[in-house]
Chain A
Amino acid sequence: MMEVLFYIAGFVALTATIAALTRANAAHALIYLIVSLLAVAVLFFLMGAPFAAALEIVIYAGAIMVLFVFVIMMLNLGDAGVSREQQLLAGRIWILPGIMAGLLLLELLLAMDNASGATSGNVVAPKAVGITLFGPYLLAVEIASMLLLSALVGAYHLGRRFIVRRGEH
């Protein structure tokens, strides 16, 4: 009976994602996306990865999506933006991406034909994750921190308003 939870959460994730990607209003789409992420977090928890689930909510839905929200608010697209998006989404634009994505899905499913087995029912505790992180994956952690540093610097620089001085272009 508990397996049903998995399928429900999966369904929610899928529907929310589809909804997110087909909205005209950016803010609405973002909210749907957050719902989808929460559903995926539930999936993680059900599979016995509580640390991953927590991280999904805290960082992904809680930081990255919030960042998106800030930027959308800053951009202030408004009703004009909504109507433009609606216009763009109509018509024959669906054909080619639809076919391509469908073919890719088909191939992915075909590739998975000989995958068998099930997830083990064991819970992998955060402690185990921590030990693995600072054991074999220590280098990866350091590199990840450097990546974040470079992203920080880049984002600061890119987001700046440039002041045009007299005489420069």
Chain B
Amino acid sequence: MGGLQIPMEHVLALAGLLFSCGLMGLMLRRNIIFMLMSLEVMLNAAALAFVAAGAYWGQADGQVIFLLILTVAAAEVAVGLGLVLQIQRRFKTLDMDQANRLQG
């Protein structure tokens, strides 16, 4: 079936809401796993906005950017989770408030 015609304000408002939720989670949670999850939420929200823009113009560029965002998210998660493993081994905790050795 063909695509729907959805008002842009609504789509972008939804993207904005999702982004704010992710931001809230980033500022709120102390556990590094949850912080990474919040980052994923934010990236997803941005991707939604891009795809919506591509749909507005009827071109493929939006989806191409979405693909690149996906790539970035994958790379970031891979490295980030490796770091999480190291943090767990060294600090024996996943609480990021304890990892303040760069203080001062």
Q: Give chain A's interface residues, CB within 8 Å of chain B.
A: 2-3, 5-7, 10, 13-14, 17-18, 20-21, 26, 29-30, 33, 36-37, 40, 43-44, 46-49, 51-52, 55-56, 59-60, 63-64, 67-68, 71-72, 74-75, 77, 81, 84-85, 88-89, 93-94, 96-98, 100-102, 104-105, 108-109, 112, 115-124, 128-129, 131-133, 137, 140, 144, 147-148, 150-152, 154-159, 161
Contacts and interface: CB of A to CB of B under 8 A. Distances in A.
B92 to A, nearest CB: 11
A36 B44 CA distance: 10
B2 A124 contact: no
Nearest to A102: B20
Give the interface SS of chain B, mostly helix, strand, loop or mixed: helix
A10 to B, nearest CB: 5
Give the interface SS of chain A, mostly helix, strand, loop or mixed: helix
Contacts of A43: 11, 14, 48
